[in-house]
Amino acid sequence: MIIVVIGAQWGDEGKGKIVDLLAERFDIVARYQGGHNAGHSVYVGDRAFVLRLLPSGIVHEDKICVLGNGMVIDPKAFFEEADQLAEQGVRVTPERVRVSSRAHLILPYHRALDHTSEERLGNERVGTTLRGIGPAYEDKAGRRGIRVADALVPDVLRSRIERNLEDANRIILAYNGEALDADQIFDEISRLAERLAPFITDTTNFINKAARDGRSILIEGAQATLLDVDHGTYPFVTSSSTTAGGASIGLGLAPQRLTGVLGIVRTYTTRVGEGPFPTEMLEGEEELGQLIRERGREYGAVTRRPRRCGWFDAFATRYAAEINGFSSVALTKLDVLDALDEIKVCTGYRLDGREIDYFPAVSQDLRRIEPIYEKFPGWKSSTEGITEMDALPAEARSYVEFLSSAIGVEIGLISTGPERGQTIVCKDSTLARWLVD
Ligand code: GDP
Ligand code: IMO
Ligand code: MG
């Protein structure tokens, strides 16, 4: 069984919690895109983890974790995370962590270029995590990138760093930054590459062999559908293919190998960084936005930035369901809505006074969308930690049923708190079958 887990909105839907929960049932947990721009939180008892580069399966002692070819890896961030996990009693060893030889490296000049790029954009800036993600993917597409395997060949590493840094420094200097030194970068990366060497694997070969041997694989998406470089709210997106098709590319695993796709959907929407957000709580709803932000602790796991909050957008989520082919949905953070008197759901988009049946390609259009809302009564009682569907207040049950019909996908799981146990698995769902198969 091979299942892909994908965020349906703009990220931070609770992928970490769900992946950690499902990981129990799988042999291997793999990431296929992105880098340490991700922040996936996992709570186990009184221990809290934030996974950035490593798959959330790492918290389970006996799981093998794969960092696929589609990722961009900052080796310094990799070891910072590994050391932090070690302090928390989690072993990050070459036996259980495999880093693709084909993944691309994030180097110090990528971070510097991320800063200058945002500065150049001014008001049009993306609001990136400044981790160097975009510039590393630019080098990959521009065929100048340095792959993990290249770092083990000193001549190749040195000449590529020298060549790429020449260009990078021109841009950095033009924007009043400080030029970086090729020797210093080479020394730093060579040292880190030596430490990384035992983790480096032909993960394409590794994962295909595992699939042939019938081992189960859980594939963990980072970022989310509306941040996909093709299908998201371009240009306010990340630089990778976050959607289900990306899982095939980013691991070298044929599409027909995939058993199913699980969408992670929050009961409301958030967005960090810039870009259009049709259901954002703005004029007249700031207080509500603040309430959700506090109740849902909506502050970036990586950057600590306050997340913008908005109503559930069923129209955008239906688009996500189509692109990814969700077989089932895990609905997270039901408990955060416990305090609301009334809950709104966007069921359609109006542009220039006319209802549209497609998700706009152009950000300027997305900014002008008038959402069509339906209203639901709140339940005004605690759902925190509930584990049975029958124990939910009737209003909460009908809200969940409505979301399922509005996005056209079953809800296989409902999350009622950050911990593993605070979960309802919906009986007879596709997701429930995956868990017992
Ligand atoms: P990810 O990036 O998709 O993994 O999500 P993040 O970890 O960045 O943000 C989700 C936050 O919500 C984390 O702090 C989770 O612990 C928390 N969380 C997940 N599910 C629930 C839930 O059902 N209820 C509440 N209250 N918090 C949740
Ligand atoms: P997880 O996996 C939410 C956003 C950034 C910015 C845009 C581009 O935790 O859901 P980048 O640094 O990737 O070039 O930034 O994407 N972004 C995220 N937003 N959750 C994430 O990850 C994100 N990773 C990137 O805020 O708007
Ligand atoms: Mg996150």
Chain segment 247-296, per-residue pLDDT in tens: 999 999 999 999 999 999 999 999 999 999 999 999 899 999 999 999 99
Distance 14 CA to ligand 1 centre (A): 4
Confidence tier at 360 by pLDDT (50, 70, 90)? very high
pLDDT of residue 184: 98
- CA 254 to each of CA 27, 208, 266, 326, 397: distance values in angstroms, whole numbers, following the listed order: 19, 9, 29, 18, 38
Q: Answer yes or no: is 76 within a domain.
A: yes
What beta strand segments (E) does 20-96 contain? 28-31, 40-44, 47-51, 64-67, 72-73
Confidence tier at 437 by pLDDT (50, 70, 90)? confident
For residues 211 and 30, is the Cβ–Cβ distance under 8 A?
no
Q: 240 and 220 in one domain?
A: yes
Instruction: Please tell me the distance from the alpha carbon of residue 158 to that of residue 375, in angstroms, as a whole number.
Output: 60
- State yes or no: pLDDT of 305 exceeds 90: no
Pocket test for ligand 2, best of 5, 10, 37 (most atoms within 8 A of CB): 37
Q: Answer yes or no: is 183 within a domain.
A: yes
Distance 70 CA to ligand 2 centre (A): 16
Q: 141 and 49 in one domain?
A: no
- Closest ligand 1 atom to residue 43 Cα is 16
- State yes or no: pLDDT of 300 exceeds 90: no
Phi/psi of residue 296, each to 5°? -90, 0
Which of 178, 196, 214 lies at the terminal end of a domain, its last residue? 196
Q: 256 and 116 in one domain?
A: no
Query: Which CATH number is 359's domain given?
Result: 3.90.170.10
Distance 156 CA to ligand 2 centre (A): 31
Distance 302 CA to ligand 2 centre (A): 9
Which position among 12, 114, 139, 228 bears the catalytic label?
12
Q: 149 and 167 in one domain?
A: yes
Which of 175, 196, 217 lies at the terminal end of a domain, its last residue? 196
- Closest ligand 1 atom to residue 56 Cα is 4
Q: 342 and 242 in one domain?
A: no
Phi/psi of residue 25, each to 5°? -90, -5
| Domain, as residue range, for 269 | 263-436
Confidence tier at 303 by pLDDT (50, 70, 90)? confident
Which of 260, 276, 294 lies at the terminal end of a domain, its last residue? 260
- Closest ligand 2 atom to residue 303 Cα is 26
Q: Answer yes or no: is 16 within a domain.
A: no
DSSP per residue, 313-340: EHHHHHHHHHHHT-SEEEEE-GGGGGG-
For residues 192 and 79, is the Cβ–Cβ distance under 8 A?
yes
pLDDT of residue 302: 74
Question: Which residue has 């599409």 as its token pair?
Answer: 255
Mean pLDDT score, 67-87: 98
Q: Which residue type sits at 110?
A: H
Q: 146 and 46 in one domain?
A: no
For residues 350 and 255, is the Cβ–Cβ distance under 8 A?
no
Which position among 20, 27, 36, 40 bears the catalytic label?
40
Closest ligand (CA of 223): 2
* Count of structural domains within the chain: 3
Closest ligand (CA of 273): 2
- State yes or no: pLDDT of 132 exceeds 80: yes
C-alpha angle 270-274-276 in degrees, rounded to nearest 5: 70
Mean pLDDT score, 334-339: 98
As a whole number of angstroms, the longest Cα–Cα distance in the chain is: 66
Q: Answer yes or no: is 357 within a domain.
A: yes
Q: Answer yes or no: is 386 within a domain.
A: yes
For residues 63 and 51, is the Cβ–Cβ distance under 8 A?
no
Q: 110 and 95 in one domain?
A: no
Each residue's pLDDT tens digit, 41-73 = 999 988 999 999 999 999 999 999 999 999 999
Instruction: Of 9, 4, 23, give the one whose Cα is nearest residue 435.
Output: 23
pLDDT of residue 112: 97
Instruction: Please tell me the distance from the alpha carbon of residue 290 to that of residue 288, in angstroms, as a whole number.
Output: 5
pLDDT of residue 387: 98
Closest ligand (CA of 137): 2
Instruction: Of 52, 140, 151, 57, give the one whose Cα is nearest residue 101.
Output: 151
Q: Answer yes or no: is 17 within a domain.
A: no
Query: Which CATH number is 54's domain given?
Result: 3.40.440.10
Mean pLDDT of the chain: 97
The reply to whether 12 belongs to the active site is: yes
Q: Answer yes or no: is 322 within a domain.
A: yes
Confidence tier at 301 by pLDDT (50, 70, 90)? confident
Q: Answer yes or no: is 255 within a domain.
A: yes
Q: 380 and 325 in one domain?
A: yes
Each residue's pLDDT tens digit, 197-248 = 999 999 999 999 999 999 999 999 999 999 999 999 999 999 999 999 999 9
- CA 385 to each of CA 332, 336, 425: distance values in angstroms, whole numbers, following the listed order: 12, 11, 12
- Give the residues surrounding ligand 1 with Cβ less than 6 Å away: 7, 11-17, 39-41, 43, 297, 301, 332-333, 335-336, 415-418
**In sequence order, which ranges of 182-280 are alpha helices (DSSP H)?**
182-196, 203-212, 244-251
Q: 426 and 357 in one domain?
A: yes
Q: Determine which residue's CA is closest to atom 26 belonging to ligand 2.
A: 273
pLDDT of residue 10: 98
- Give the residues surrounding ligand 2 with Cβ less than 6 Å away: 7, 10-12, 37-40, 126-129, 131, 133-134, 222-224, 227, 238-239, 272-273
Q: 250 and 191 in one domain?
A: no
Query: Which CATH number is 134's domain given?
Result: 1.10.300.10
Q: Which tokens hold the place of 319?
A: 């688009």
What letters, b where the CB count within 10 A reaches 16 and e where it falls short, cover 154-175? eeebbebbeebbeebbebbeee
Q: 278 and 188 in one domain?
A: no
Mean pLDDT score, 3-25: 98
Mean pLDDT score, 414-423: 97
The reply to whether 213 belongs to the active site is: no
Helix axes 314-324, 394-407, angle to 10 degrees: 50
For residues 150 and 140, is the Cβ–Cβ distance under 8 A?
no
Q: 353 and 274 in one domain?
A: yes
